[in-house]
Amino acid sequence: MKKQFLKAIFILAAFLLLPGFGDAATYYVRTDGNNNCTGLVDQAGTSGNCAWRTLQYAADTVQAGDRVMVGNGTYQGFMIQSHGTAGLPIVFKAQSGAANITTPNANTDDGINIESWEGSPSDFITVDGFNVYSQPRMGIRAIGGNGIVIKNCTSHHNSSNGIFSGDTPNIQVLNNITYANGSSSYEHNIYISNALSDGSVVRGNLIYDSNAGNGLQLNGDWEMGGDGFIDNALIENNVVYGNSKKGLSLISIRFGRIQNNIIYNNGPAAGGIHLVDQEGKNFSTGNVVVNNTIDEPNQASIRINDGSDNNYIFNNISVGATGIRFEGDGNFQSNNYSSDDGSGLFVNRTGRDYHLLQNSPAKSFGTAIYQEKPAPAVDLEGNIRPQGSGFDAGAYEFAEAPLPPAAPTGLSVW
């Protein structure tokens, strides 16, 4: 019995010593830390249990499951080439939203660079809450990794893209603010590229005032290899405005869903939402564009180029003289409310409050399902659809006041 017990203890100890098991740690980086410290305690110091000084030292040290908590202050950027797993991601988190990256990492001209190389992808890396600006190239760049998450960051006034990725399956770009990027190039606030970027999610971002490019661009890039399509992207709950060219430029996109976005005053270019091919190949097809509010006085609200087909456009509000423009056949639309000037639709169009008025004609104008494609079950703010007699058009469902409870019946008076 004693021998079996000792054997069990030995096996357990060996298991605990396996690489990656039980090794996950939380490290700290501060402007008054030191790389001679352990990094394990959130305090200033020069040795022992105190925080590290540089983000690059942290990036060179972390393993799967580690978290790096970053204090307020200004830092040089970092490049990471490690990888996490689905259950043990590597997380870099700014603790209170005031960790600024104003100079690029030492390896590239980007602020934060998640860099994969052949045979060793940088998978499951999360970057959370940094302010990245004035970079010689890109604010935040990710190449080749699976399961990357970029969230709660602000990226602005970078020479090229604010947030860029290439061949990044299942990347999530969530709740970021990107503006005034492409300061010296025709680039975009957010750009997700290449055919391996299937399953991309772009949600809850504020995307505005690109210098010369688009607000958000997705491009399957057939000339870069793979099947040349980005499949099954989800683009929702974003506010996109004032960009020099298009609001959403969607090139060689298949089976995507574009819903609950507010898009206004972009261009003049092709459209607030533009579904298009890559130089005559790989036409965008099978996408659902539903319950968006698009106010574009200078261009089409939604434009679909000839050759892109089997796209389903419904429950949108389109404001502007050009409206929804199909340049070829084979696409489908229904229950879109169109208006030249938006009269009577919104709480305050001039102030960009696109909530619906009590008597808005877009109320109950939509449909729950079209061509077997369902409308979203909630609106941009998470309100349940529908709340009236039917689904509203646009990104906001009008919040109906709840009915008072019915008076009780069948009561006896004693």
CATH number, residue 90:
2.160.20.10
The model's pLDDT over 48-61, given as tens digits with 9 standing for 90+, comes to: 999 999 999 999 99
Average pLDDT for 15-35: 75
Instruction: Give the lowest-confidence range in 16-25, 31-40, 46-55, 377-386.
Output: 16-25
Domain count, the chain: 1
At 20 the pLDDT is: 41
For residue 312, tell me if it sits in a domain. yes
At 4 the pLDDT is: 46
Specify the pairing of strand 216-219 against strand 248-251: parallel
For residue 198, tell me if it sits in a domain. yes
At 400 the pLDDT is: 80
At 208 the pLDDT is: 98
For residue 372, tell me if it sits in a domain. no
Q: How confident is the model at residue 292 (pLDDT cuts 50, 70, 90)?
A: very high
For residue 129, tell me if it sits in a domain. yes
Domain holding 197, by residue range, is 25-347
* Total-model pTM: 0.92
DSSP of 270-327:
SEEEEEE-BTTBS--BS-EEES-EEE-TTSEEEEE-TT--S-EEES-EEESSS-EEE-
Judge contact between 313 and 324, C-beta under 8 A.
yes
For residue 35, tell me if it sits in a domain. yes
For residue 373, tell me if it sits in a domain. no
For residue 403, tell me if it sits in a domain. no
Average pLDDT for 142-154: 97
The model's pLDDT over 254-278, given as tens digits with 9 standing for 90+, comes to: 999 999 999 999 999 999 999 999 9
Q: How confident is the model at residue 114 (pLDDT cuts 50, 70, 90)?
A: very high
Judge contact between 56 and 105, C-beta under 8 A.
yes
Q: How confident is the model at residue 23 (pLDDT cuts 50, 70, 90)?
A: confident
For residue 14, tell me if it sits in a domain. no
Judge contact between 150 and 171, C-beta under 8 A.
yes
